[in-house]
Structure 1
Amino acid sequence: MTTLIAPPRPAVPGPAAPARARLGAFTAESTFIGRSFRHSVRDVEALLMAIMLPTMLMLMFTFIFGNAIDPSGGYVDYVVPGIILLCAGFGASSTAISVSRDMTTGIIDRFRTMPVRSGAVLTGHVVASLARNLVATGVVIVVALLVGFRPDATVLGWLAAFGLVALYILTITYLFAAIGLAASSPEAASGFGFILLFLPYVSSAFVPVETMPEWLQWVAEYQPITPIIETIRGFLMDTPVDDTVWWALGWCLAILLVAIVWGGLLFRRKAGRR
């Protein structure tokens, strides 16, 4: 007796697993920017300290040391540009702590499983810090006007000064973000960042360079902060800036480029993303 064997049925392919779509750049960036903004709003103490410390320094230098440095009473016009950069530095230093906290608390491991560009995390921190520091800088300028700051800047001068301040804040924020990535803990990030906050004191922020000891004049004159301060001072007081504006822009762009490349390499290595 012959047994009939039915031919095997062809396998019917099941539904393919949906591919995980990668979010667009704008969607990823806006998501992490919103996240960093929410953290900034909740951390009111950090914002207040970023405003209060430079304001207190300005009041101290104006009313306690000002008459000894400049008996004419015009010292506030000289010191405000340096205070603006101090404000930017204090505000940006919190970025190093925030980035380091993200890297050490395990949240990056969660982000690594998401279909987003790895650099979006850093972009969120930097953009939120830039906006926060611009607000703090505006408050410091208003306080300076209340205590006697009288700039002679034209509209173009104000716009140029604002643009340079924004570029400096962007630069130092990216640098602090890279420091946060390099540090082993938020406490270490705070310590490393604090060293950078001393640079304005060794510049023309509070006293002219020529009044310093000769061995210190070279350091103060050729460090990045001095040409940036002198350019902002020239824009606000409507005085010639000569070639200091090119030195200021060159320093900002060079440091920004190094910080972006350094931060990108550190993030890819520590987060394991490309």
Structure 2
Amino acid sequence: MSTVLTDTVVLTRRSLRHVLRSPDTIITTAITPIAMLLLFVYVFGSAIDTGDGPGEAYVDYLLPGILLITVASGVAYTSYRLFLDLQSGFLDRLRSMPIARSAVLWAHVLTSLVANLVSLALVVLVAVAMGFRSGAGLLAWLGVLGIMVVFTLALTWLAVVAGLTAKSTDGAGGFAYPLLFLPFLSSAFVTTDGMPGPVRWFAEHQPVTSIVDTLRRLYAEEPLGDDVWTALAWCVGLLVLAYALAMRSYRRRTSG
């Protein structure tokens, strides 16, 4: 275990140095969600009724969905960086060294977690400047952070699968496009009440809706209801499945 931790720390430092040398990665990851935040709040916000009246605190309603989009955008870089390591032969060189094989993947995952948390912090700061306010206590915000960490880890391990199985750089990063689109078919931007029947059913039963509703209720200090358990089940279930697929793909890719 100590060997795994040591090797993971060394490789994580390498990956973080790559990110620090190109801070445009984090900036680019945050720019699209921030642009969407500005667009929907200042252009469409006055025409959208979320139950509190048209335009009332729409930034508060919108923020959870934008946070999920930020993570979906960020993990695409994890897939891309892992694909480049494979193509450059870096992973093959590591196989000839006495290091823990899983440390390579964990280094990319931890780097993704750190980079995405920085991007999320930037998005929240912009939301605060736009008028986002919350009277939630420390425990509620720790709950928000916990859900975002588990969600980020789940999507990151999914990105690892994409990076290991992609045939091109476009394929490595392109897997995130469906993830970016999914919040639009949820309660992230508008309530599901006015959606057509089949669309409403899908929106109410896909993972994004339960996650954004839980985040929204946490920082609004509202009762969580059953959504919190649904959100946790989706996040943990996806994390376990993605981790298993990533390890299986890694063993296949590095065998022989």
TM-score normalised by the chain length of structure 2 = 0.94
Is there any run of 5+ residues in structure 1 with no aligned partner, and where?
1-21
Q: Identity across aligned pairs (percent)?
A: 38
Residue 113 (str. 1) matches residue 96 (str. 2)? yes
Secondary structure at the aligned position of 1:165 is classed as helix
Q: 2:176 is paired with a residue of what secondary structure? A: helix
Structure with the larger helix share: 2
Q: Aligned runs of 1:64-143 on 2, under 5 Å?
A: 64-70=43-49, 71-143=54-126
Find 2:151's aligned residue among 163, 168, 172: 168
Out of 200, 224, 229, the residue aligned to residue 217 of structure 1 is: 200
Aligned residues: 252
Letter in 2 for 1:32: L
Q: Given the superposition, is the C-alpha separation of residues 272 and 143 from structure 1 closer, same or farther in structure 2, using an over 3 Å criterion?
A: same
SS at match of 2:101: coil
Would you say 1:63 and 2:46 are equivalent positions?
Answer: no
Distance apart, 1:161 and its partner CA: 0.8
The equivalent residue for 2:210 is: 227
Q: Highest Rg: 1 or 2?
A: 1
Q: Deviations over 1:120-159 (max 9, x none)?
A: 1110001011011111111111110110111231221111
Amino acid at match of 1:130: L
How far did residue 23 of structure 1 move?
8.2
Extract structure 1 runs of 4+ deviating beyond 2 A: 70-73
> Residues 271 and 74 of structure 1: is their aligned pair in 2 closer, same or farther, counting only changes over 3 Å?
same
Structure 2 residue aligned with 1:31: 10
* CA distance 1:23–1:103, shift in 2 (3 Å): farther
* Residue 23 to residue 245, structure 1, CA distance change in 2 (3 Å): closer
Deviation at 1:72, TM superposition (A): 4.2
- The equivalent of 2:230 in structure 1 is 247
Compute the displacement of 1:109 (Å): 1.1
The counterpart of 2:244, out of the listed 233, 253, 261, is: 261
The one-letter code of the counterpart of 1:143 is V
Separation of aligned partners in 1, 2:96 and 2:157: 25
For structure 2, list consecutive stretches of 5 or more residues without a partner in the other structure: none
Question: SS of the counterpart of 2:223?
Answer: coil
TM-score normalized by the length of structure 1: 0.88
Q: 1:238 aligns with which of 205, 213, 221?
A: 221
Please tell me whether the aligned partners of residues 99 and 180 of structure 1 are also in contact (alpha carbons under 8 angstroms).
yes
Q: 2:62–2:189: 8 Å Cα contact kept in structure 1? A: yes
CA distance in 1, matches of 2:150, 2:32: 22
State the alpha-carbon separation in 2 of the partners of residues 255 and 132 from structure 1. 21
What's the offset of the Cα at 1:102? 1.4
